[in-house]
Structure 1
Amino acid sequence: MNRTGLVLALLSAVLFGASTPFAKLLLGDMSAQMAAGLLYLGSGLGLAVVLGARAALRLPSHDEAPLTRADLPCLLGVIATSGVAGPLLLMAGLARSDAASASLLLNMESIATLLIAWVVFRENVDRRLLVGAACIVLGAGVLSWQGHAAVAPGALYIIAACVCWGIDNNLSGRLSAADPVRIAMLKGVVAGSVNLCAALVLQHARMPGAAVVAAAGGIGFLGYGVSLVAFMLGLRHLGAARTGAYFALAPFIGAVVSVVLFHAHDLGRLAVAGAFMAVGLWLHLSERHDHEHEHTVMAHTHRHVHDEHHQHEHGPDDPVGEPHTHHHVHTRLVHSHPHYPDLHHRHDHDGDGHSHDPDHTHGPDGHTHAA
């Protein structure tokens, strides 16, 4: 299976998970909306510096497909859900929850990603993924339940943030062939500016001190910016549902950091919830998908090497060396190998979007299956 995608998804999870407890530390000095604005501005401005350095050094190995006008609707949806609403809801939830429980509740993002992919975008979901999702939901329930039909006050805010990120993950899958650094930079700058202006104008908030602003920028750059770039690259290799499943490691990282930072109590409840979530994560990660399938003719632009899926002729203006980026055409290919629903393997099994094999999971992109 795709080790590159696995490493990228896990890197994204580690960076984001570790950032959550540190983000909670900021809430003592500012409002939730101010924190969301500074975190995302730090992400966007940091990645803008990366883009500038990349252009100045003219590194051909970092060439990526540009964004096009057709990408605009998905890009706006990504910015609105994940860049504006998601961080604000997370900060509101963190202000009403202990950091360890909040970190583990972020596992709900993988569930939201899977359900939206299945219900809205018509991707097939197998029994293994559904059972894993149920385990993660049980774990989240253990964390949020406070007895007598009461739910932790911050839990609903955090779950709503996870729904926003689930929408974002599915929309980002449609953008995964384009430059992930540019997408993450745009999201950070726009979303950070919106939240910061809202805090200053609507809430009449004051800017915190320079040290706090710098800390928020650093946390945002690593935990939101670099993490998002790694996640976008993971989507390219693994597809939305599986990248979201690997990303479910993030709350465990956040919980461990929270125990160290805040000396979290009620470790028994955290252990029970973590056990449920660990089983769910294992079910997601242990999937194997291998069968004969057909690639139909398709043309697109993305960064690639000349592997078995990229056997094409080059024109005089196409770049030399690998990996490289240019418009290319895939010819019909029928073969069998282990694969994820990456850019080249998002296919149905019978033409109607439903799998005859309950252990197959795919999403539509114009590919069809060999019977």
Structure 2
Amino acid sequence: MERVKAQYAAMAFAAAALYAASAPASKLLLAEATPVFMASFLYLGAGTGMSVVALFRKGLNNGHKEMRLDKGDLTFVVLMIILDIIAPILLMVGLRMTTASNASLLNNFEIAATSIIAFILFGEPVSKRLWKGIAVITAASMLLSLGETGSLDFSLGSVFVLLAATAWGFENNCTRMLSLKDPLQVVVIKGLGSGAGSLIVAVLIGDAPPELAFVLYAMLLGFFSYGMSIWLYVYAQRGLGAARTSSYYAVAPFIGAAISYAVFRDPLSPTFLAALLLMMIGSYLAAFDGVLRKTKRKISSI
């Protein structure tokens, strides 16, 4: 059982690493396209790329058959697609208004949102330690959202990123309800459905379409940072639950912030460094909560 849990944890960490590159890479690509078109091609890349993966999956499954989606899953599928149209658009808008490193750290608020929603809507247990982690992460998010002057005025870009994280918190819990079904099918539907929805929105609001080269770059980024990442994330949820998977996923913002600093050389203000420290503490409390509880149970049984 412990070995199986470790495999699910490894999937969650791998998903986090792939997703971590999305914020800094998207920040670069946003110079060439609107936020809505950017969100569209990210998800279309995920759906298209994973559709290709599906063609080769039969030889990799060793006879194992996945459960297919059915009519009973329709509500959660629709909600998943709608939320995946809203969340990346909010994130892309936020990225245009704030630094990539700031946005990367703020993405950690998704842990708090996912865990609280899982607790309220689905009764998923949340320990005292995890509640402490949620509180610290929330405090760090609030600190990161303050304007550069340190006043109580909030950065609009940060607010959009936090709204995106909250929307993904709801979406994570919808995806959780589908985690026993074929993960590849879920990712393909999520990618193509959300990407097509965002594309329709971009056309309706009159956004100027980007050049073909940009489309290919954005779709390639979407395949790895959204497609492969989501596929691994859905698999991890099977064994860890929505709150726990999101906790292991906490490493992504720090990887993203490091990449962002290396690429953009954003100034590390005292506020950012204080928030970074709080995020590290909050992520530690959240991510290692289950590990410490298991260790205590083992010691007590000796």
Give 1:143's aligned residue: 144
Q: What letter corresponds to residue 91 of structure 2 in structure 1?
A: L
Q: What secondary structure is seen at the aligned counterpart in 2 of 1:64?
A: coil
Offset at residue 60 of structure 1 (A): 2.7
1:52 equivalent to 2:55? Answer yes
Q: Unmatched 5+ residue regions in structure 2?
A: none
Q: What letter corresponds to residue 225 of structure 1 in structure 2?
A: G
* Aligned mates of 1:62, 1:21 — CA distance in 2: 37
Of residues 255, 263, 266, the one that matches 1:264 is: 266
* Aligned mates of 1:8, 1:26 — CA distance in 2: 27
Q: Unmatched 5+ residue regions in structure 1?
A: 292-336, 339-371
- Equivalent runs, 1:143-162 vs 2, <5 Å: 143-146=144-147, 147-162=150-165
Deviations 1:300-323 (A, max 9, x none): xxxxxxxxxxxxxxxxxxxxxxxx
Offset at residue 42 of structure 1 (A): 0.5
Among all aligned residue pairs of Structure 1 and Structure 2, give the percentage whose two residues are the same amino acid: 34
TM, length-normalised to structure 2: 0.91
Q: Which has the larger radius of gyration?
A: 1
Deviations 1:279-306 (A, max 9, x none): 1111122224459xxxxxxxxxxxxxxx
Q: 1:126 to 1:58 in 2, by over 3 A?
A: closer
What's the Cα RMSD here? 1.8
Give 2:16's aligned residue: 13
Contact in 2 for aligned 1:32/1:91 (Cα 8 Å): yes
* Aligned mates of 2:121, 2:259 — CA distance in 1: 35
Give 1:194's aligned residue: 197
Q: What letter corresponds to residue 272 of structure 2 in structure 1?
A: L
Give 1:228's aligned residue: 230
Give 1:311's aligned residue: none
Q: What letter corresponds to residue 96 of structure 2 in structure 1?
A: A
Q: What secondary structure is seen at the aligned counterpart in 1 of 2:156?
A: coil
- Equivalent runs, 1:79-228 vs 2, <5 Å: 79-81=81-83, 83-146=84-147, 147-200=150-203, 202-228=204-230
* Aligned mates of 1:62, 1:248 — CA distance in 2: 31
1:77 equivalent to 2:79? Answer yes
Give 1:67's aligned residue: 69
TM, length-normalised to structure 1: 0.75
Q: 1:258 to 1:290 in 2, by over 3 A?
A: closer
Contact in 1 for aligned 2:250/2:287 (Cα 8 Å): no
Contact in 2 for aligned 1:4/1:237 (Cα 8 Å): no
Give the strand-richer structure, 1 or 2. 1
1:38 equivalent to 2:41? Answer yes
Higher RCO (CA-CA < 8 Å; seq separation 6+): 2
- Equivalent runs, 1:306-317 vs 2, <5 Å: none
1:25 equivalent to 2:28? Answer yes
* Aligned mates of 1:232, 1:192 — CA distance in 2: 18
Give 2:242's aligned residue: 240
Which segment drifts farther, 186-195 or 144-153?
144-153
Q: What letter corresponds to residue 136 of structure 1 in structure 2?
A: I
* Aligned mates of 2:255, 2:64 — CA distance in 1: 29
Contact in 2 for aligned 1:134/1:280 (Cα 8 Å): yes
* Aligned mates of 2:132, 2:208 — CA distance in 1: 47
Contact in 1 for aligned 2:191/2:227 (Cα 8 Å): yes
Structure 1 runs (4+) deviating above 2 angstroms are 57-63, 203-207, 266-271, 285-291
Offset at residue 205 of structure 1 (A): 2.5
